[in-house]
């Protein structure tokens, strides 16, 4: 079962970490991670994105995580499956897998290392769009990919019916306004930088695909909900509260710091796949201090998916569920 038609992505959408144990997917930990998101008001999840260490995942890992995500979420919030690679053929295969598993959309990162031209990016995204009947979110992160998708290219791709959003991880907030002024009304622009989530909203954006919400999902969702409700006092307070944590989670290469933070909460082991290694002791200290300021402590053990029949009414209301 998937969510109803995606009218427009919005709010706090978590780019999930991938938990490992002995180098393999830690299934019980993944259940805890998803449960933690659902119980704390997250508006959507992204399994197998770059925060989920996607370059190290095998096809079978994607299959496992996509299947588990759909089974655990049960249509309550959108699942945007991370499917992007630097090969168009492989990306199409993963996007088809996401559709077959029941995901609601695919997050497709700009091909890394290859550095395609804008014509190449148009051809890449168009080929995926035409090959698989699944909504697509473009992911622009030049710091990781070595190239940037231009505003004009985004706007051309937005004319395709199943390209529904952009995750933009740049420091140029003017891109949000330029894009929003030229695309269809239901095309969403989502920040890919936690510290700039508020700035993206102020430029006409719709939300954030967040790393921080792995460990502070309630606070990130509250900030987005406050903006939507025009509660500026709460919005700014949440934004100010979260800034030290945003900074701490990027003192070293992500997702090492956020995975350490998740281990502090008891959500998973502090284990990554090479070539990534756990965060240094100084990074761990920075994360612990930032978490302490938000009073983030070990999570209450979640109920099994087979025991959890209903979610709190206030959560359902906050996410537009009825």
> How would residue 321 be classed by pLDDT, with cut points 50, 70 and 90?
very low
Q: Which of 139, 156, 259, 260 is catalytic?
A: 139
**pLDDT tens-digit readout, 230-283:** 999 999 999 999 999 999 999 999 999 999 999 999 999 999 999 999 999 999
In a domain, 213, yes or no: yes
Instruction: Let me know if 167 is a catalytic residue.
Output: yes
pTM of the model: 0.90
Which pLDDT value is given to residue 175?
95
> How would residue 305 be classed by pLDDT, with cut points 50, 70 and 90?
very low
CA distances 296 to 48, 106, 135, 146, Å, are: 25, 31, 35, 35
In a domain, 289, yes or no: no
In a domain, 88, yes or no: yes
**CA 268/CA 304 separation, integer angstroms:** 16
In a domain, 309, yes or no: no
* Residue 177 pLDDT exceeds 60: yes
In a domain, 249, yes or no: no
Number of compact structural domains in the chain: 1
Q: Which of 99, 156, 167, 259 is catalytic?
A: 167
Element counts in the chain: helices (H) and strands (E)? 13, 10
In a domain, 228, yes or no: yes
Domain that holds residue 229: 11-236
Which pLDDT value is given to residue 235?
98
Which pLDDT value is given to residue 171?
86
In a domain, 153, yes or no: yes
Q: CATH number of the domain that 60 lies in? A: 3.20.20.70
Q: Which of 288, 82, 318 is nearest to 218 (CA)?
A: 318
**CA 201/CA 104 separation, integer angstroms:** 23
In a domain, 4, yes or no: no
Residue 188, classed as helix, strand or coil, is strand
CA distances 114 to 58, 59, 144, 146, Å, are: 20, 21, 12, 8
């Amino acid at each position: 079962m998937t969510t109803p038609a995606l009218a427009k992505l919005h709010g706090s959408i978590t780019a999930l970490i991938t938990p490992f144990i002995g180098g393999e997917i830690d299934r019980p930990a993944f259940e805890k991670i998803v449960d933690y998101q659902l119980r704390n008001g997250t508006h959507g999840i992204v399994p197998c994105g770059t925060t989920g260490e996607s370059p190290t995942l095998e096809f079978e890992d994607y299959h496992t995580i996509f299947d588990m995500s759909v089974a655990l979420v049960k249509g309550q919030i959108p699942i945007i499956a991370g499917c992007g690679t630097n090969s168009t053929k492989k990306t199409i295969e993963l996007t088809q897998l996401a559709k077959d598993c029941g995901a609601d959309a695919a997050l497709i990162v700009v091909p890394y290392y290859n550095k395609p031209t804008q014509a190449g990016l148009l051809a890449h995204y168009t080929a995926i769009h035409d090959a698989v009947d699944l909504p697509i979110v473009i992911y622009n992160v030049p710091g990781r990919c070595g190239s940037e998708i231009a505003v004009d290219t985004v706007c051309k791709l937005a004319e395709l019916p199943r390209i529904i959003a952009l995750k933009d991880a740049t420091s140029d907030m003017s891109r949000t306004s330029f894009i929003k002024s030229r695309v269809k009304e239901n095309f969403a622009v989502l920040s890919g930088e936690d510290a700039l989530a508020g700035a993206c909203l102020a430029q006409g954006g719709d939300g954030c695909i967040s790393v921080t919400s792995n460990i502070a999902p309630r606070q990130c969702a509250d900030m987005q909900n406050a903006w939507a409700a025009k509660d500026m006092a709460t919005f700014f307070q949440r934004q100010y509260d979260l800034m030290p944590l945003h900074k701490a989670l990027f003192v070293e290469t992500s997702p090492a710091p956020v995975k350490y933070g998740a281990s502090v909460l008891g959500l998973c082991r502090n284990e990554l796949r090479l070539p990534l290694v756990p965060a240094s002791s100084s990074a761990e200290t920075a994360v612990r201090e930032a978490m302490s300021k938000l009073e983030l402590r070990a999570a209450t053990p979640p109920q099994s998916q087979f025991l959890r029949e209903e979610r709190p009414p206030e959560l359902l209301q906050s996410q537009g569920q009825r």
